[in-house]
């Protein structure tokens, strides 16, 4: 698996890709090594399976977009994705949230309704928790019905921060 580190406003972001497209992205970490370890964890592989490489043409522009995003600029993140690890339900949930506009939110219930499974709010939360390509598939834009942020892969403070970045 190939990866690259990017310096952004809040630290280091790591991205991994396959021949199919982007397959994982981390949130900013204070140290580059933390980002690489986080990437391996997200991919559920040993860190030694990651090989640093140059971004190919299919992901050209990712570094600039990440930098702009964390500076508070709107970005679309339209890159090919490798979602081969997804179950059909995860795939349906994750691809549906791509349509939530920048700076807006939806509830877990609304996402469940969007995919035709109105009673599956908890299952939607589980599918979002599996998201390996944060920001590109904006799971941070999905919140609880009461307006609270809900979970975010062990780093809920980042969910709040990302929503604040998008409100500027």
The C-alpha torsion from 35 through 36 and 42 to 48, rounded to 10°, is: -170
Active-site position among 23, 75, 139, 144: 139
Q: Is 144 in the active site? A: no
CB atoms within 10 A of CB 71: 12
Within the chain, strands assigned E span: 2-8, 11-17, 22-25, 51-52, 106-107, 142-143
Place of tokens 């920001």: 135
Active site members? 139
């Amino acid at each position: 698996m190939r990866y690259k580190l990017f310096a952004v406003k809040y630290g280091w972001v790591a991205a991994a890709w396959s021949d199919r497209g982007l397959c994982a992205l981390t949130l900013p970490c204070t140290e580059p090594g933390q980002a690489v370890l986080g990437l391996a964890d997200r991919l559920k592989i040993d860190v030694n399976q990651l090989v640093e490489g140059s971004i190919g043409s299919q992901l050209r522009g990712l570094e600039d977009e990440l930098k702009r995003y964390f500076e508070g600029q709107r970005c679309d993140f339209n890159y090919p994705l490798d979602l081969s690890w997804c179950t059909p339900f995860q795939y349906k949930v994750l691809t549906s949230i791509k349509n939530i506009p920048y700076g807006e939110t939806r509830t877990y219930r609304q996402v469940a309704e969007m995919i035709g499974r109105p009673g599956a709010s908890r299952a939607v939360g589980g599918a979002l928790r599996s998201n390996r390509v944060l920001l590109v598939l904006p799971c941070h834009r999905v919140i609880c019905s009461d307006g609270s942020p809900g979970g975010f892969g062990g780093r809920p403070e980042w969910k709040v921060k990302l929503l604040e970045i998008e409100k500027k």
